Structure 1
Amino acid sequence: MGRIYGRSPIDFAVEAVDLAIKDSGIAKDDIDGLLISGGLCSYLKMPDAVSMHLQNALGITDLKLVNEMNSYGATAATMLQYAAMTCSTGQTDAVVCVFADAPLQKEPSNGYGTAINVGTGIESLNGASGILNAATSFAMVARKYMDRYNVTSEQLAHIAVDTRAWATMNPRAQKREPITVEDHQKSKMIADPLRLLDCCLVSNGGIAVIVTSAERARDLKQPPVKIIGWGQGHPGNRKDRTINTGAAMSGRLAMEMAGVTLDDIDIRQIYDCFTYTTLITLEDYGYCNKGEGGEAFSGGRLGPNGDLPTNTGGGQLSSYYMWGMTPISEAIIQARGQAGERQVDKHELTLVSGNGGVLQYHASLVLSSTV
């Protein structure tokens, strides 16, 4: 994952699935489900995007379940939910959930980071007014929140600094150099109020996760990680969705299903396409009152020495951007106790979030290392 060029999303997907099969010790012939997320290349309808043709590339036949899914950054958590449902009812034995994308190119193009889906007619109004991509859209969202609650750019900087502190201990992270609040404030403005260090990375690569029954997992090579709670919350274009997000509903449903509260959660893996997304998601999960996130998540609380360890692999801000698979992959690594230098001592319960669109789609998971 990272700045890897010259490979297609399907190539990344096939390798990720192969590595997951070897990692788990499950037989390839025992895979009978495949759920696929194609990322930005799929969204932009690029010809080499990963799709349901991945089944043929993998050489897997007679699947009981196959689908290409897209709720943007909420897709990965949703895939794991559906995979768990089919495995728990006996409809499938083992489902591979895979994300793969390759939007990053050596030469600049018209694809990523410029004008995405400008449209024609009335749909072109956003582009004509400068709302061209995720950064400009989230900048409006963040500005609205910051003005309403007197949250500062320096407070967002603390989230970026804490996330980078975790990344310095992750050998897979794209960005491993420590940063300070001052570094954040000096980084260039992308779309006011979001600076470069408020924004996630762009990465090529793939991640695959295999979901099976708890009974089956006990006999495989790796320490099993149990999905004990899930929930979704999709406000769509509800007027206040950018400040009161679907994370509140999805988080509540996931924790109610798991039978846990926020006080029970050891680690938080949050979809952090921007620093603001981390803040608003934690706020809507209930870690502070509405409007208090700027102060509540400053001072190192989310970092390696804080009381709320969050995005312990460096997140999408500093590690790698694999849509919703970024928080899921780190949650699994931590739950297994395989995070090395960055391993959190208490890692029984992890709360995971996925966010899609401009805070329109949300999915949450609670994972347990106790099976």
Structure 2
Amino acid sequence: MNVVRKRSAASAIIGLGESTFSRKPDKTARAHAVEACLDAVSDAGLKMAEIDGLLLNRSPIEASSVLPLHLKRDIGLGDLSLLASVEAEGSSAIQMIQYAALAIDAGMAEKVLCVFADAPVGATGGGDAYSISMNLVGLDGWDERHGLIGATGGFALSVQRYFHLYGADSNALYEAAAADREWAALNPKAFLRKPLDKEEYFASRWIVEPLRLFDCAYPVNGAVAVIVSGAESAADGPNSPVYVHGFGQGHSGARNFAGAEPEIQTGAGIAGRNLFGGLGITPGACDFCEFYNPFSITTILALEGYGFCKPGEGVDFIAGRATRPGGALPTNTGGGHLSSYYLQGMTPVHEAIVQIRRCGGERQVPSNNLGLVTGFGGRMEYHSAMTVSPHREI
């Protein structure tokens, strides 16, 4: 590892819980959240009375009533020192963990439960839930009146701009999607495990050209919860602690002004500089990456944005099999959002914990000393990132 100096983690994830993941409208997001929280408390070997903080995150397209603050009563929690709902779109899951760590370091709490839950898949599937305007230009109603509906339309513009600037084509998207599918084949919990060949990929229907069906996330109904504690007591539980060594946020602004590149200019560079700079390391110190990747193009942009390769080089990096099983930088090792399941920012968090605990089975990465986990919202302008390790010192 390319580490400049030793750093000791102040916090750790000591519990991981999940509800059932389903493609059927079986129960509410709130019910999924309760199931995941109870599972996380059990996984950490704790009693409910030991939890003194609760942070909630719901999908930004849902009302606060979907995951209300009084979820604490549903779970059976007692008096709390910390309670909030965090809303920073897809960057929220990592932000919850960051705020829990900060609160613990400040003496506000000792054991903080963080949960994300969603139930977007109804009787007609999951697509309808996301067919809303992203308001990319900042003028209410403008996007919708001009036919730009849903995140897929916004990211289709990103793909077109990337293709224009760097001379790439749809083969680049196929390689990114196929790499995720290769990992998913090794993950018993992934929903799409069949290998993705070119013929099947190029025969799939357009969602918004140039994004095809297999370029898009696979939403499910479910919840994931984690418990954050101070590092001092983290090793007391029944499972290996996942030490959190650093956080970085980055939120790009004024992207619609002349001279900017709103389609591909993201907050990843800011978040990466804050994260890696604070730790005194380079991206090369990371053994694996779990990116928030609801579209195939976002894996390419994340590799470039976080500094694993230069702008325009992400296509060749993936095509050279660096991100696949056996590659130099295992990436989205559970299958990512495209092939495993889409529970927004908790999908990469969940998989990172599995890898740090060495519970990955066939997909376990050979070296798990340091992993990068990311989340983003909007069209990648809101970013959060963290590094995790099985070791308290790196």
TM-score (norm 1): 0.94
- Are residue 352 (structure 1) and residue 369 (structure 2) matched? no
- Are residue 303 (structure 1) and residue 321 (structure 2) matched? no
Q: Is the 8 A contact 1:228 1:257 kept in 2?
A: no
Q: Give the aligned partner of residue 332 of structure 1.
A: 353
- Are residue 278 (structure 1) and residue 295 (structure 2) matched? no
Q: Give the aligned partner of residue 106 of structure 2.
A: 89
Residues in 1 aligned to 2:102 and 2:189: alpha-carbon distance in whole angstroms: 31
Residues in 1 aligned to 2:64 and 2:240: alpha-carbon distance in whole angstroms: 37
How far does the alpha carbon of each residue in 1:204-253 deviate from its partner, in whole angstroms, 9 at most, with x for none? 00000100011111101110111101010011452324323111111121
Compare 229-238 and 100-109 and name the one that shifted more.
Answer: 100-109
- Are residue 31 (structure 1) and residue 68 (structure 2) matched? no
Q: What residue identity is the alignment partner of 1:20? A: A
Extract unaligned runs of 5+ from structure 1. none
Q: Give the aligned partner of residue 15 of structure 1.
A: 35
Using the aligned pairs only, state the percent identity.
Answer: 39
Q: Give the aligned partner of residue 72 of structure 1.
A: 89
Q: What residue identity is the alignment partner of 2:348? A: P
Q: 1:246 aligns with which of 244, 267, 279?
A: 267
Residues in 1 aligned to 2:380 and 2:284: alpha-carbon distance in whole angstroms: 25
Q: Give the aligned partner of residue 226 of structure 2.
A: 209
Flag the 1:137–1:365 CA change in 2: closer, same or farther, 3 A.
same
SS at match of 2:263: coil
SS at match of 2:63: coil
Residues in 1 aligned to 2:44 and 2:147: alpha-carbon distance in whole angstroms: 47
Q: Give the aligned partner of residue 63 of structure 2.
A: 45
Q: Is the 8 A contact 1:168 1:176 kept in 2?
A: yes
Extract unaligned runs of 5+ from structure 2. 1-20
CA shift, 1:6, in A, is 2.2
CA shift, 1:192, in A, is 1.1
Residues in 2 aligned to 1:299 and 1:187: alpha-carbon distance in whole angstroms: 24
Residues in 1 aligned to 2:68 and 2:118: alpha-carbon distance in whole angstroms: 11
Compare 199-208 and 292-301 and name the one that shifted more.
Answer: 292-301
Residues in 2 aligned to 1:108 and 1:116: alpha-carbon distance in whole angstroms: 19
Q: 2:250 aligns with which of 218, 233, 238?
A: 233
Q: Is the 8 A contact 1:242 1:359 kept in 2?
A: no
Residues in 1 aligned to 2:241 and 2:193: alpha-carbon distance in whole angstroms: 29
Residues in 2 aligned to 1:2 and 1:133: alpha-carbon distance in whole angstroms: 22
- Give the superposed CA RMSD: 1.9
- Are residue 3 (structure 1) and residue 23 (structure 2) matched? yes
SS at match of 1:301: coil
Q: Is the 8 A contact 2:126 2:219 kept in 1?
A: no
- Are residue 141 (structure 1) and residue 171 (structure 2) matched? no
SS at match of 1:139: helix
Q: Give the aligned partner of residue 217 of structure 2.
A: 200
Residues in 2 aligned to 1:149 and 1:8: alpha-carbon distance in whole angstroms: 44
SS at match of 1:100: strand
- Are residue 127 (structure 1) and residue 148 (structure 2) matched? no
Q: Is the 8 A contact 1:24 1:221 kept in 2?
A: yes
CA shift, 1:109, in A, is 8.9
Q: Give the aligned partner of residue 191 of structure 2.
A: 174
CA shift, 1:142, in A, is 1.3
CA shift, 1:108, in A, is 5.9
CA shift, 1:352, in A, is 0.7
Residues in 2 aligned to 1:117 and 1:107: alpha-carbon distance in whole angstroms: 22
Q: 1:290 aligns with which of 285, 289, 311?
A: 311
Flag the 1:110–1:310 CA change in 2: closer, same or farther, 3 A.
closer
Residues in 1 aligned to 2:153 and 2:59: alpha-carbon distance in whole angstroms: 19
Q: 2:200 aligns with which of 183, 186, 197?
A: 183
Flag the 1:51–1:243 CA change in 2: closer, same or farther, 3 A.
same
Residues in 2 aligned to 1:17 and 1:46: alpha-carbon distance in whole angstroms: 18
Q: Is the 8 A contact 2:162 2:264 kept in 1?
A: yes
SS at match of 1:210: strand
Flag the 1:101–1:214 CA change in 2: closer, same or farther, 3 A.
same
Compare 29-38 and 238-247 and name the one that shifted more.
Answer: 238-247
CA shift, 1:187, in A, is 1.4
- Are residue 266 (structure 1) and residue 266 (structure 2) matched? no
How far does the alpha carbon of each residue in 1:94-125 deviate from its partner, in whole angstroms, 9 at most, with x for none? 0011000101002369941434578xx95222
Flag the 1:46–1:229 CA change in 2: closer, same or farther, 3 A.
closer
How far does the alpha carbon of each residue in 1:110-141 deviate from its partner, in whole angstroms, 9 at most, with x for none? 941434578xx952221121111010111011
Residues in 2 aligned to 1:321 and 1:289: alpha-carbon distance in whole angstroms: 28
Q: Give the aligned partner of residue 363 of structure 1.
A: 384
Residues in 2 aligned to 1:353 and 1:155: alpha-carbon distance in whole angstroms: 21
TM-score (norm 2): 0.89
CA shift, 1:45, in A, is 2.2
CA shift, 1:182, in A, is 3.0
Q: Give the aligned partner of residue 341 of structure 1.
A: 362
Residues in 2 aligned to 1:241 and 1:332: alpha-carbon distance in whole angstroms: 33
Residues in 1 aligned to 2:134 and 2:328: alpha-carbon distance in whole angstroms: 41
